[in-house]
Structure 1
Amino acid sequence: MQFNNQNQPENWKRGLFFNKKTYADEPLLTFEEARNQLPSPIFESRPDYIECYWRTWEIAYGNTHIPVPESGFVSNFIDAAFNDKIFLWDTVFMTMFCNVAHPYIPGIRSLDNFYCKQLDDGEIAREYVTKTGVEFYKWVNIERKPLHSFFHNHYKHRGLAQINDLEFEVMYKPNLGRTVENPPYLRLDNLNHPILCWAELESFKHTGDLNRLKLVWEPLVRYYDALRYHLYNHYGLFVTDWASMDNSPRNQYLGSGVDISCEMVLVARNLIEIANILINDKKLKEGAIAETDELVSQVVRLEQDAQTFTDSINNLMWDPETGFYYDVTNEGKRSPVKTIAAYWTLLAGVADETQAAKLAEWLNDPNTFFRKHRVPVCAADEPGYDPRGGYWRGSVWAPTNTMVIRGLEKYGYYDLAREIALNHLDNVVKVYKDTGTIWENYPPDSIDSGNADKKDFVGWSGIASTLYLLEHAIGLKGDAVQDELIWRLQPGMGTIGCNRYWFAGKTVNLVATEEANGMYRIKVLSDAPLKLKLQYANRETLVEVNGQAEILI
């Protein structure tokens, strides 16, 4: 086998399933060029929110890039603001706030640069070097050994000396007759957080771009199949080593991760949703019967997988005595550590209503997850919890908060989801006012930057001051699937709204002014017909807007 000068195998085939093969994109805008096109929020009582919003976008545009030809990347991208590499799960969360500015910043298109590097068995790395486009060498299984972790023999990263001391190839030995004939191209460190499907659906529901779903369908299915093949173990769960939670107290017990196991359920259910969207597409119905049959077959298979994985998670990871989900050790025992990873069970739809209620209770427990800044990634009553953050020992992170919020919404806990979102937004803005910047993470027990060391982190930390502001504070959420804009209004907000709010190819100006009697007078101007769903004071009003409208609610 031949290797190039980055120590990467030259004969590995990449990008077979993604139909965009060469670089092509719209011109990259500067912040100054984009500012008068971006959504412009209105919140008269909170000018600090608005100031932080615009500073966030300014930092974000400083982290957008045209790929160098040597990288082989095919689209412009927003960078993780971490180092000289692009990261899969960082990019996924960046796409979520970039969706509201979709035409004007390379959000979802940033994921193209992962699909175009997908290996021929479906694997996609968590990390690529920006200038060369190659996989980060530490995570590459150059010897093509059975699945293993780099950190088994390299305990030098953010306290990983406490990681579970086990060769991961033993995962295959007791696998009840399962034979894994083809070892992975990538090490276990490189195969975590398979949440690309979630990102694509979040984008589709805001943009309505059906062609995008068609483009990514095969790469997503191949990716799912690769992880199912390589990470599925004899417990019916999925293995991980440190799951990008570098120094978490959970690491010494991994094992089967509750996050990776739930994320595989999430991938399966997201793929089912995407398949049904494609099946129902009029053009597909009229002209591609064979393709429709294949999609239906995939749905059947994925439904079976999702149920099988869900059963295993609930049988082995749910502890009825404490009412919480835990990782599972290689010996099949539940880990004793409560972490934010348990809340992937909500987003994936693994928990039943009773289990979801218990998880919601934990979020309101001041001894565990209800801290001054919500939600720490490690419960406050766990050994090793760091009230100053300590990275994954207690910090509050935008991506995990977003996962928790979306999971709560899935089970109807809208008020709790909004409380957490507004708490995070408010604290991020307070720290911004004190420090002039956005941080990678935040401490749970004080309103400052804690022991975080990365500033100007936009980066996934841009979620709070952009998406949370628009969606949870102001209350606007576009739904391209239903072709409607939902506006959830709260009493006592004063004058709020947004000019140039963008979704589904429409641009809308909205302003709501609270009157003395507690009612809102709403003015709307849209460049295309839309349905405006207003929710206020336990009432819901649907207004057909064609041009402009004025509503009293």
Structure 2
Amino acid sequence: MNVPQIVFEAEPELEKFSAFAWKCAAEHISSCPGAPQSPYMDEAFAEDRIWIWDTCFMVLYCKYAPEIFPGVESLRNFYLPMLDGVETPLKIHIPDNPPLFAWAEWENYRITGDREHLKELFFQHRYPQRMFRFFESLHYGDRFPYMSSLYPVQWQKTPFGYHWSGGRCGMDNTPRGDFPRTVIDNDPAYRKILFLDAAAQQALSARIIWEVTGDTAFRQEYDTLAALLNHYYWDEEDGCYYDIEATAPHRRVKVMTPASFWPLLAGVASPEQAARMAAHAENAMELDGPVPFPSVARNSPHFDPAGGYWRGGVWLPTAYMAVKALEQYQFTALADRLAEQLVRHQLRTWLEFSPHTVWEVYSPTRAEPATCKYNCLPDHGKPDFCGWSALGPINLTIENVLGIQADGVSRMIHWRLHHTCRHGIRNLRFGGVTASLEFDRGTIAVETSEPFRLKIEDRIYHIPAGVCRIKEGKIS
């Protein structure tokens, strides 16, 4: 299969695990006659339904093999029914799932460098802009003909933020709101709080739209949401973003989860705020520990050592987001360390727990999948979940374990070399380039189809097409 291949001599099992994830993901390329986009990426949960945030997160690894995996293409199965009124046999299970379309599209562009797709998306169809406005216009109780969920829309904008729910924000039985275990999914109790991630995700979308198009209306949307988050949702005493109560005086509800990192990904935090958030990420009593980014802080009374789905379980989408949020503020060493812990936990689970596969959600304490929701069967999350859990063996392994950050727009690779063993990557595609890089005993071997720039520490090398070596700062 024509996908990136990991080289890591010190741990060959990591190479095999990454290859397994690609194979598992390929098995979830599905077809549906009559769908706006077929084939498409199936989230590994239900054949007749699709989820917004699952698909957006899958785009993030599909970007590394776009000729095989229909990543951004799969988003058409949301754009056309939700915005253009196109009928579809694929049901959109939750239309008010996290609105991550602009982010997914932007991250895809950063690797592929596909300017024509970007122009068509943002300037011809204006799908990111229209999706932003769609979410701004939603009201509690809305229903649409393409929905499959029995529950209506939970999202609704207020002057102080957004109503939502556990099931709709994607964190099904989350204790956000300081709710007991019996409150799950779309319980009306969630109406008592306003969700920080909703505001941060809309801010992230507005920022990307404004930066791509120059539309100052979205700059204003971004500034308004950033100010809202920093005034109402930031807690100076704890140094953390929290949800707030929906009614005045809008007190902060101090339940710490990885969702607190969405404002960092959106770029609304100051450097000082980001540093205080980073401290929570490296606190073993909060969001660090044996496995980073449990879905609720370890010192919370709601934390379940077995996982309990979103009451301690480690989820790759929110963990990946938090790692990238830390990188946004240059906490790269911390991000790399946490990412490597996450990948190694997935690897240990793959090796030690049967069936040997990639799981929907992982235990925060043991090398096994996390347990599920209250009174929910089966006891563990779903297997073969590639699906978003491929973000560990693919993205985090490439971007953080290996330290390879590719930019297809500028045709540059920034390689943070922090291992001494022979390691690297083969068949990495970005911006029309196909390259292989391998570090071994102080020498970097490069083979590439096209010229590109390679940045190592503060030095930039101009790599010619063909085969070359870099040793002692010289290309030969």
TM-score range, shorter chain: 0.7 to 0.9
**Could you tell me how far apart the structure 2 residues matched to 1:541 and 1:548 are?**
17
Residue among 443, 449, 456 paired with 1:521: 443
Correspondence for 1:167: none
Q: Which residue of 1 aligns with 2:128?
A: 220
Decide which of 200, 218, 223 is 1:262's aligned counterpart.
200
| Superimposed CA distance per residue, residues 373-427 of structure 1 (whole angstroms, 9 cap, x where no aligned partner) | 1111111122221111111101111100111011111111001111111011111
Separation in 2, partners of 1:498, 1:370? 28
SS at match of 1:392: coil
Give the residue type in structure 1 aligned to 2:359: W
Q: Establish whether residue 425 from structure 1 lines up as the match of residue 343 from structure 2.
A: yes
Matches of 2:398 and 2:111 in 1, distance apart? Answer: 13
CA shift for structure 1 position 463: 0.8
Residue of structure 1 in register with 2:42 after alignment: 79
Partner of residue 149, structure 2: none
Structure 2 residue aligned with 1:415: 333
Query: How much does 1:120 deviate?
Result: 5.2
Q: What is residue 274 of structure 1 aligned with on the other side?
A: 212
Q: Choose which of 108, 112, 118 in structure 2 pairs with 1:207.
A: 112
Partner of 1:324: 240
Does 331-340 or 93-102 show the bigger shift? 331-340
Say if 1:222 and 1:500 are closer, same or farther in 2 by CA, change over 3 A.
same
Q: Does 1:455 find its partner at 2:383?
A: yes
Distance 2:170 2:403 in 1: 32
Partner of 2:55: 91
How far apart in 2 are the matches of 1:209 and 1:525? 23
Whichever residue aligns with residue 449 of structure 1, its letter is: P
Q: Give the corresponding residue for 2:24.
A: 59
TM-score, scaled relative to structure 1: 0.74
Computing the radius of gyration from Cα coordinates, the structure with the larger value is: 1
| Amino acid corresponding to residue 476 of structure 1 in structure 2 | I
- Once the 2 structures are TM-superposed, how far is the Cα of residue 44 of structure 1 from its aligned partner? 1.2
2:395 pairs, out of 460, 467, 477, with 467
Deviations 1:280-320 (A, max 9, x none): xxxxxxxxxxxxxxxx4xx2111111111111111111111
Match of 2:425 among 498, 503, 506: 498
- Could you say which residue in structure 2 is the equivalent of 1:551? 470
Letter in 2 for 1:61: A
Distance in 1, Cα, partners of 2:316 & 2:270:
26
In the alignment, the residues of structure 1 paired with residue 295 and residue 76 of structure 2 have an alpha-carbon distance, to the nearest angstrom, of: 29
C-alpha distance in 1 between matches for 2:222 and 2:173:
30
8 Å Cα contact 1:92-1:199 kept in structure 2:
yes
Query: Partner letter of residue 117 of structure 1?
Result: P
Matches within 5 A, 1:295-374: 296=214, 299-331=215-247, 332-374=250-292
Divergent runs of 4+, >6 A: none
**Retained in 2: the 8 A contact 1:206–1:480?**
yes
Deviation at 1:236, TM superposition (A): 3.4
Shift of 1:135: 3.8
How far apart, CA to CA, are the structure 1 residues paired with 2:369 and 2:156? 38
CA–CA distance in structure 2, aligned partners of residues 476 and 342 of structure 1:
26
Percentage of matched positions with identical amino acids: 30
The 1-side partners of 2:120 and 2:263 are apart by: 28
CA distance in 2, matches of 1:477, 1:364: 23
Counterpart secondary structure, 1:268: helix
Match of 1:530 among 428, 432, 452: 452
| Structure 1 CA distance for aligned equivalents of residues 454 and 398 of structure 2 | 16
Distance 1:234-1:40 versus aligned 2 partners, 3 A rule: closer
The separation in 1 between residues aligned to 2:411 and 2:269, in whole angstroms, is 30
**TM-score (structure 2 length as normaliser):** 0.86
- The unaligned stretches of length 5 or more in structure 2 are 139-154, 180-189, 372-379
Write the deviation string for residues 1-42 of structure 1: whole angstroms up to 9, x where unpaired: xxxxxxxxxxxxxxxxxxxxxxxxxxxxxxxxxx2x222221
Q: Deviations over 1:115-151 (max 9, x none)?
A: 1212359xx9xxx9xx822344xx6xxxxxxxxxxxx
Q: 3-state SS of the aligned residue for 2:116?
A: helix
SS at match of 2:65: helix
Q: Does structure 2 conserve the Cα–Cα contact (< 8 Å) formed by 1:440 and 1:461?
A: yes
The question of whether the paired residues in 2 share the 8 Å contact of 1:373 and 1:447 is answered with no
Paired residues, number: 426
Contact residue 59 and residue 104 of structure 2 kept, 8 A? yes
Give the secondary-structure state (helix, strand or coil) at the position aligned to 1:443.
coil
Q: Distance in 2 between matches of 1:120 and 1:530?
A: 40
Mind listing any 5+ residue stretches in structure 1 that lack a counterpart? 1-34, 140-189, 276-295, 515-519
- Pairwise CA distance, 1:450: 3.4
Return the offset for 1:504.
Answer: 0.9
